[in-house]
Amino acid sequence: MRQRRGRLEGVKLEEQRRTRFRGAARISLDLLQFPMDESSKIDLSNVERLKEAYRHEGCLPEPIRNHILALIDQSDLDAALDLSGVSAAALMMPRSVDYPELRLRTGTRLRCLHGKHRIQAGREFLSRRDKWWVVDLYLSDLSSDVQRSLIEEYSNEKIPSDGEIYRNIRQYHFQRNFTFESRWWARLRGCRTRNLKSLLKHAELTAAFDAMLDVPGLWKGMQLTTIHKVLTLKSDDEVLHYLEHVRRFWCDLVDNDVSVMKQIDDGTVQALELKAPGVSTGDADEIRHQIDAGKIFSACSEEVRREVLRRLSQYNSLIPSLYTFFRNFPYWEACVESVRHLTTLSRRDTLLTAFEGHFTGVNQRDGQIVIQVNESNFAATPGSSDDQVELGYRQILAFAMRNFVNIPREPVDDVVTVRPRVKADKAILGQFAELAIRLGFESPEIHRLHGYLNNMGQQVLSAPTRPPLVTSGPGETLKRRCGLPVWETFQEDRDFLFLHFLHDDHIEQGEGITSFFVLRATYFAFLGQPEKKTALRPGALVALSSTQYGNSRMQDASEDASEGESEQLEQERQERQEQERLQLLREERQAQQRKEREERQAREDQERREQERREQERREQERREQERREQDRQGKGQQEREQEQRERLPRQGRDMVYIHFKIRENLIWRNVQSLWVDRSDPTELIRIAKKNMRKGLRLLDTNMQLLAPEDCFEAVTMDGTNTIILLPQRDLEVDDQLLDSANVLAYTTIVESEQSKRNKKG
């Protein structure tokens, strides 16, 4: 019932749109006006972006994708046609250039429904004689639903992003506007429909995404193609934390002012995401310059901009967004898949709830938390049993962040970035199980993997020094601030992925940030800060010797944990000096190997690009030749078929019209079907048109306007082309090339028709 009602409403809207359309014309920019309300404020940064595009690509108001939409009273239109010496039919003629100029009576303005930024940019960029735009005119009695439909269509000549579709679906859902919600569902492609339906069944995740609907600039980063992985990972707690982390940052930035949130556009989010203005002086200077120049937050008052800048300068992590969430998700996915070696999750379990259930307190002392300081050594700090569970779980994930390359849960393809190997390393799995037991966790999977430790020695390492968070140079580029770690820096950073380094709250400032700062920001984005601050700085930890554990079982010790601390520290100092010497040798060797790899990779890339270029040239040449032969063959065959049809035309004196159905394949218009149609009874044409629509083909005239089956005959005979264009639903996007090709088709069809008439008279 709802679907039938939706179809009827759609037909009604399309009929009103068709009957109210009055064609396109060139209109002076001075005659265009836009609604004056809060949502229509000019975003100066967007205007500057468009002006820059005009400078590099040219200002092109004539292509159909650049037209704007305006409403006009019939009386004003009639007066304008008289004043301009233009006929109503001229406005309706299909064309891609040389639109007629329309002048309006003094005091008359056109009410434009969209396009304010491109028009403002045109006013500032174009010379006086070129200050006009092509406007598609509709009568002013157009209903609000049709206006909204047209605005969305005119704003989306390009395929809308996943985020734009999701945002519109949810907003129309909350407005209970089934018709427009259904239209946006229809824009989903491929697996996106299935993935979105699955997401909407997960109430908590849906609510987390919906909580960001008031910030339009975030949604360009939405990836519906990845949602199925988010839903099946069973890491809901961490995913929800990241999404809340995104929402909280952007809401706090503008003090939860919804009116300001709605002014945060794509450009503003892209200018801020992945920056660390409270730590990086380079990032802070760049953001300050953009705010002062009005490139971001331009629609806000000076007071709001100053407050935004103040809050940004105090933010000591990477600025998050939906884009950063989906870019960081593959790394987090690999880490979680590694941890799942240690447990089997039920249908209701998440990774966190499973490990909370696996905690038995084995090897733990009351009031003390075991902290791993490197792959071989442990220390202790005061804490409760709840802290043992929470920090133990975090250390399990930190191990996965260090070793995910070697312990994948399932095979994946190798790429340049750091990705898991094809088969898990049993030695690393054994160490993983050993760590889990030392931290108080037990499960059948953990004990099974613990057996891999048999007859294997462990490398004894001293704890490295504190990792740097900032640099004196530019540091990590934006591209390297999210996603899977880069191999060369990860080799060094993995030695610091332990809790006492990750939770070290020491704040530094420098020009740029390091790769470890990026990993640390990713860790906190998914896991957040612990509910209670625990003393995890290296100096606050008490070392635990290996004798305090027997076969991974901590023995009850009567002496205080601090006995022998001085001797332990001296031993660690000596080991650290030796380790630093060995580290320097390793770094030199790694640098040489890295240089050789880069040189080899550069040579291979150059050879591959050259081979691809030659192959592309060969394919392009073959394609052109094939198109030429096909066009020659089809042109000749079409002429023969049309001549044969004309010769078979019944001669009963009826007024018959020869109608063609054409479709574009490989840049060539192919005739699908031609038939004679009686002007007084186009029933057969309507039947064939409906049959094509059932096949997923839409009906258009040569001006690329959509047609209903009942309107086809009148539309294509009125424009003189007698041609109905068939366009697959999936390709319903009109670009300049398609429109120009259709116009050429219309022109040649009309010319051939006139030539045929002259030949008959002759």
Map residue 510 onto helix, strand or coil: strand
Per-residue pLDDT, 344: 94
**DSSP 8-state assignment for residue 359:** B
Quick check: 402 and 491 in contact, CB under 8 A? no
Among 238-252, 371-385, 607-621, which is the least confidently predicted range?
607-621
- Residue with the bigger pLDDT between 591 and 6: it is 591
Tell me the pLDDT band of 146, cut-offs 50, 70 and 90: confident
Decide if pLDDT at 572 tops 70.
no
Looking at residue 475, what DSSP letter applies?
B
Q: Which of 292, 286, 320 is nearest to 306 (CA)?
A: 292
pLDDT for the residue 40: 58
Q: Decide if pLDDT at 601 tops 50.
A: yes
Residue listed under structure tokens 């007629």:
100
For residue 557, is pLDDT > 50?
Answer: no
In this prediction, residue 637 carries a pLDDT of 57
Q: Are strands 32-33 and 110-112 parallel, antiparallel or unpaired?
A: parallel
Which of the pair, 380 or 53, is modelled with greater confidence? 380
- Over residues 394-417, mean pLDDT: 78
For residue 172, pLDDT beyond 60: yes
- Residue 574 falls in which region: left (phi positive, over 0), alpha (psi -120 to 50) or beta: alpha
What values do phi and psi take at 430, rounded to 5?
Answer: -65, -40
SS3 (DSSP) at 201? coil
Q: Which pLDDT score is estimated for 550?
A: 43
3-class secondary-structure state, position 727: strand
First-to-last alpha carbon distance for the chain, in angstroms, is 59
Handedness of CA 558, 561, 563, 568 (dihedral sign): positive
Strand partners, 38: none
Tens digit of each residue's pLDDT (9 = 90 or more) over 89-132: 889 887 777 899 999 999 899 999 888 888 999 999 998 888 99
Q: 345: which 2 tokens? A: 């999750």
Beta bridge partners of 382: 368
As a whole number of angstroms, the distance between CA 107 and CA 14 comes to 32
Instruction: Give the residue-averaged pLDDT of 460-487.
Output: 84
Q: Are 491 and 460 in contact (CB under 8 A)?
A: no
Least confident range from 125-129, 461-465, 492-496: namely: 461-465
- Which of 644, 642, 649, 703 minimizes the C-alpha distance to 673? 642
The most confident of the ranges 212-226, 616-630, 724-738 is 212-226
Would you state the pLDDT for residue 433?
A: 93
pLDDT at 666 over 80: no
Mean pLDDT for the stretch of residues 282-308: 91
CA 547 from chain centre, in angstroms, equals: 52
Quick one: pLDDT band at residue 37, thresholds 50, 70, 90? Answer: low
Order the strands of the 656-665 sheet from edge to edge: 668-678, 656-665, 723-728, 697-700
3-state secondary structure of 735: coil
- Cβ neighbors of 418 (< 8 A, separation 6 or more) are 405, 484, 485, 486, 487, 490
Question: Which has the minimum average pLDDT: 55-69, 294-308, 568-582, 636-650?
Answer: 636-650
pLDDT (mean) for 311-338: 96
Return the minimum-mean-pLDDT range out of 54-58, 222-226, 304-308, 750-754. 750-754
How much is the mean pLDDT over the chain? Answer: 83
- Asked if the model's pLDDT at residue 512 lies above 60, the reply is yes
Residues 613-642, mean pLDDT to the nearest whole number: 67
- Predicted pLDDT of residue 459: 47
The answer to whether 178 and 753 have CB atoms below 8 angstroms apart is no
**Minimum mean pLDDT range among 127-131, 376-380, 750-754:** 750-754
Task: Find the mean pLDDT for residues 292-303.
Answer: 87
In contact, 441 and 392? CB cutoff 8 Å: yes
Host H or E run for residue 489: helix 487-493
Q: Kindly report, residue by residue over 524-542, the tens digit of the pLDDT.
A: 999 998 876 665 765 667 7
**465: DSSP letter:** P
Identity (one letter) of the amino acid at 314?
Q
Question: What is the value of pTM for the model shown?
Answer: 0.62
Percent of the chain whose predicted confidence (pLDDT) is above 70: 80
Q: Which residue has the tokens 């045929």?
A: 756
> What pLDDT is recorded for position 608?
78
Cα dist from 672 to 87, 660, 720, whole Å? 34, 8, 19
Would you say residue 253 has pLDDT above 60? yes
**How far is Cα 199 from Cα 183, in angstroms, rounded to an integer?**
19
- Distance (Å, rounded) from C-alpha 326 to C-alpha 257? 26
Tokens 């008279």, located at residue: 761
